[in-house]
Structure 1
Amino acid sequence: MAYHFLRIPKYRKYLLNAYVKTELSNIIKEIAQQFGFEILASEVMPDHVHLFLSAPPKYSPAEIIKIVKGTTARKLRTKFPTLRNSKHLWTDSYFVATHGNVSAETIRRYIEECQNL
């Protein structure tokens, strides 16, 4: 299954600067390798993250986002002391859409176009 996730930091704060962006991307790659996910496209913006990935059917979207949310929050707080000040790094909510009505290329193109905003 392929999923398009959208995550935002708590209170939509602009926490995801260039240093955090690089580390967050690396952490997401590690998670994908560990759990057998395939990253089809991703983009980290200052106030949100797009993640388009394919995962084995044994993982529900809720499980995937729980893994990503928990692991990234823990590792980012360890690496960046300024992020320890906030009680929660990510909001409880998220957007997810399955690959189906639109092609994978359409989603990939949408995420890539967000890079130029």
Structure 2
Amino acid sequence: MHAHLVFVTKFRHKMFTDRHPTRMKQIRRDACADLDTELIEFNGENNHVPLLVNFPPKVAVTRLVNSLKGVSSRRLRQEFPDLARHYYRANKLWSGSYFAASVGGAPLTIVKQYIEQQNRPG
């Protein structure tokens, strides 16, 4: 199964710069591997990140989302302490909400292209 996921930062703070997405992609790829899932595409803007994930039906979307958000939040806060100024009020990097859509109607190449075309923070 394929899912298009989008995570937004807490309070939609614009916290990511050009040095964060590369590390975030590797963190997400590792978290996916732990769940026997595959990160197909990833990109990020300064206040949200879209991704395309291939996962087996035995993995619940909520479990996948919680793992990806939890692991990335913990590791990014450890590796980039400067992000603390954005989440000091809530002590959270990500908003509690997320967007998830199954992908099947549109060809995967179209969804990948959409994610690739997101503006990287600069």
Same fold (TM over 0.5): yes
Are the structure 2 counterparts of residues 88 and 36 from structure 1 closer, same or farther at C-alpha, using a change threshold of 3 Å?
same
Deviations along 1:24-68, one digit per CA (max 9) or x if unpaired, are 111011112222211111101111101101011111111110000
TM-score by length of 2: 0.87
Q: Give SS of 1:44's match.
A: coil
Q: Give SS of 1:39's match.
A: strand
Q: Give SS of 2:49's match.
A: strand
Partner residue of 2:102 out of 89, 98, 102: 98
CA RMSD of aligned residues (A): 1.7
Q: Give SS of 1:58's match.
A: coil
Aligned mates of 2:116, 2:25 — CA distance in 1: 15
TM-score by length of 1: 0.91
More helix by share: 1
Which structure 1 segments of 5+ residues have no match?
A: none
Q: Give SS of 2:117's match.
A: helix
Give the CA deviation at 1:113.
Answer: 2.0
Aligned mates of 1:8, 1:116 — CA distance in 2: 14
Which structure 2 segments of 5+ residues have no match?
A: none
Aligned mates of 1:116, 1:88 — CA distance in 2: 22
